[in-house]
């Protein structure tokens, strides 16, 4: 492997380069489901904390 | 053969998708922040 230095990205200007590695046709839905799962876990936790609404 | 990215997207496609992705995500965050403000006004949790 040549010792070619890869310039480190400067974000957020280079954020778009993520999609040169991660294909959204494959990964957009898994990403959105991960966001949904996180939101559900947080809402279930808050519900069980009984601050606003009680499920049981 | 032209330089193909690991994901197969061209630079233009990646930039085009990213523009929409950030726009959608920004709307999501603004809506969530608004709802949190309303819930906090209804019942402060701190």
Q: Per-residue pLDDT tens for B5-34?
A: 999 999 999 999 999 999 999 999 999 999
d(CA B3, CA B25): 30
User: According to the model, what pLDDT value does residue B43 have?
Assistant: 86
Mean pLDDT for chain A overall: 88
Residue of A16, A22, A42, A53 for testing the chain B interface, max B β-carbons within 10 Å: A16
Size of interface A-B (CB pairs under 8 A): 38
Residue of B7, B23, B45 for testing the chain A interface, max A β-carbons within 10 Å: B7
**Tokens 């990646």 correspond to what residue?**
B14
Q: Residue A23 phi/psi, 5° resolution?
A: -80, 115
Q: Which of residues 10-49 of A touch B (CB under 8 A)?
A: 15-24
Please state the ipTM of this predicted complex: 0.81
CA angle, residues B24, B19, A32, in degrees to nearest 5: 40
What pTM value is reported for the model?
0.79
Which residues of B are less than 8 Å from A52 in CB distance? 39, 42-43
């Amino acid at each position: 492997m040549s010792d070619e230095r890869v310039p480190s990205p400067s974000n957020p200007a280079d954020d778009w380069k993520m999609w040169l590695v991660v294909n959204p046709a494959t990964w957009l839905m898994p990403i959105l489901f991960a966001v949904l799962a996180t939101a559900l876990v947080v809402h279930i936790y808050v519900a069980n904390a009984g601050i606003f609404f009680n499920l049981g | 053969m032209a330089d193909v990215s690991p994901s197969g997207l061209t630079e233009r496609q990646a930039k085009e998708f990213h523009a929409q992705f950030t726009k959608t995500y920004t709307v999501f965050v603004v809506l969530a922040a608004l709802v949190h403000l309303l819930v906090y006004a209804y019942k402060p949790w701190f």
